């Protein structure tokens, strides 16, 4: 009787977990299918590469796609080194005490700040005080402050997952603390770190509130829309989607909005798949090399 009850409980728990996992997959499939149904007809080469329009029908989202990747790369350039350094310090070097507690408290407090509040902070500091105006740089630095706590925490968790025996073995053969971290701990945690960066990148792609007040809601025309200068307005695809459904006056606003939503979702999915494949390949390469 007891064994039968245990088997039933185990089977029920396994079925519930499988059901939850399948539900998540079905939700994603349903979302993708629904957006394809709504916005699939809007996707064309002209839509993906053409200039956006504020009054006339038939505009595209080429500059917005470019700005999304531009701000993503710019944000990661600032965020990843600082987060890695902070995470390494907190996990590998910092002793238990008031300073470590203060850093942890500051990071946790920053993580709870709403993105719109962070956008107002970027508006006051980067746009007005530093007089950068609405620019890609102001948006990237605001997103850096917004995502630093999360990536720092991910770095700590990734480093903590590395067995302590690896550190002891490295130091036993004469390795210094920094050599152990650089050559043993970081390569061994590349998988979780890649996953964390992918999650942060997804947040950057989809961020709207912080960028409305910092990167702006407009793009230049012609070649200037694809300028590499960080001190220019840079409306991203997520911001364009918000603007289209809230303030735009174009006749085909529904088509542009549905197409933008589909493109944004596909960008995030493709980026996630590519990043995970690269991260897995790096992990396998490092494992074989070790």
The 10s digit of each residue's pLDDT in 97-116 is 788 888 888 888 888 888 88
Instruction: Kindly report, residue by residue over 25-64, the tens digit of the pLDDT.
Output: 999 889 889 888 888 888 888 888 888 877 777 778 888 9
Rounded to the nearest angstrom, the gap between the alpha carbon of residue 102 and the centroid of all alpha carbons in its chain is: 26
The token duo for 186 is 């970081």
Q: Pick 9 or 19 by higher pLDDT.
A: 19
Q: Please, which pLDDT band fits residue 70 given cuts at 50, 70 and 90? A: very high
Conformational region of residue 201, where left means phi above 0, alpha means psi within -120 to 50, and beta covers everything else: alpha
Average confidence score pLDDT of the chain: 84
Burial per residue of 236-262, b for 16 or more beta-carbon CB atoms within 10 angstroms, e otherwise = bbbbbbbbbeeebebebeebbbbbbbb
**Residue 288's pLDDT is what?**
66
The token duo for 14 is 């396994």
Instruction: Kindly report, residue by residue over 112-128, the tens digit of the pLDDT.
Output: 888 889 999 999 999 99
**Residue 290's pLDDT is what?**
56
Instruction: Kindly report, residue by residue over 229-268, the tens digit of the pLDDT.
Output: 888 888 898 888 888 877 666 777 888 888 888 888 888 8
Distance CA 17, CA 21 (A): 6
Distance CA 52, CA 62 (A): 7
Residue 274 has pLDDT above 60, yes or no: yes
The token duo for 263 is 């493109």
Percent of the chain at pLDDT above 70?
Answer: 95
Instruction: Kindly report, residue by residue over 152-175, the tens digit of the pLDDT.
Output: 988 888 888 888 888 888 888 887
Q: Please, which pLDDT band fits residue 67 given cuts at 50, 70 and 90? A: very high
Class of domain 45-289: mainly alpha
Instruction: Kindly report, residue by residue over 177-236, the tens digit of the pLDDT.
Output: 888 888 888 888 887 888 888 888 888 888 888 999 998 888 877 677 788 888 888 889
35, 110, 153 from 105: Cα distances, Å: 40, 9, 12
Count of CA atoms in the C-beta half-sphere (13 A) of 196:
24
């Amino acid at each position: 009787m007891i064994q039968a009850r245990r088997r039933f409980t185990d089977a029920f728990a396994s079925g519930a977990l499988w059901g939850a996992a399948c539900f998540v997959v079905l939700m994603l499939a349903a979302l993708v299918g629904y957006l394809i149904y709504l916005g699939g007809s809007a996707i064309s080469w002209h839509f993906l590469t053409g200039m956006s329009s504020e009054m006339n029908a038939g505009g595209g989202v080429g500059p917005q796609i470019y700005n999304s990747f531009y701000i993503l790369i710019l944000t990661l350039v600032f965020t990843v080194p600082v987060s890695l350094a902070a995470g390494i310090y907190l996990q590998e070097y910092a002793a238990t005490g008031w300073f470590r507690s203060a850093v942890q408290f500051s990071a946790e407090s920053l993580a709870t700040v709403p993105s719109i509040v962070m956008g107002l902070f970027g508006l006051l500091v980067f746009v007005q005080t530093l007089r950068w105006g609405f620019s890609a740089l102001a948006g990237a630095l605001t997103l850096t402050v917004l995502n630093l706590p999360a990536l720092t925490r991910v770095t700590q968790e990734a480093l903590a997952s590395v067995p302590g025996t690896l550190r002891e073995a490295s130091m036993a053969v004469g390795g210094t603390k920094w050599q152990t971290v650089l050559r043993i701990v970081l390569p061994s945690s590349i998988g979780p770190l890649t996953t964390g960066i992918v999650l942060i990148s997804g947040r950057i792609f989809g961020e709207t509130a912080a960028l409305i007040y910092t990167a702006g809601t407009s793009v230049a025309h012609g070649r200037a829309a694809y300028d590499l200068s960080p001190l220019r307005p840079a409306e991203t695809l997520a911001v364009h989607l918000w603007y289209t459904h809230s303030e735009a006056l174009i006749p085909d606003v529904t088509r542009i909005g549905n197409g933008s939503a589909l493109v944004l979702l596909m960008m995030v999915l493709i980026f996630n798949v590519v990043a995970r494949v690269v991260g897995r390949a790096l992990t396998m390469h490092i494992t074989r090399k070790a």
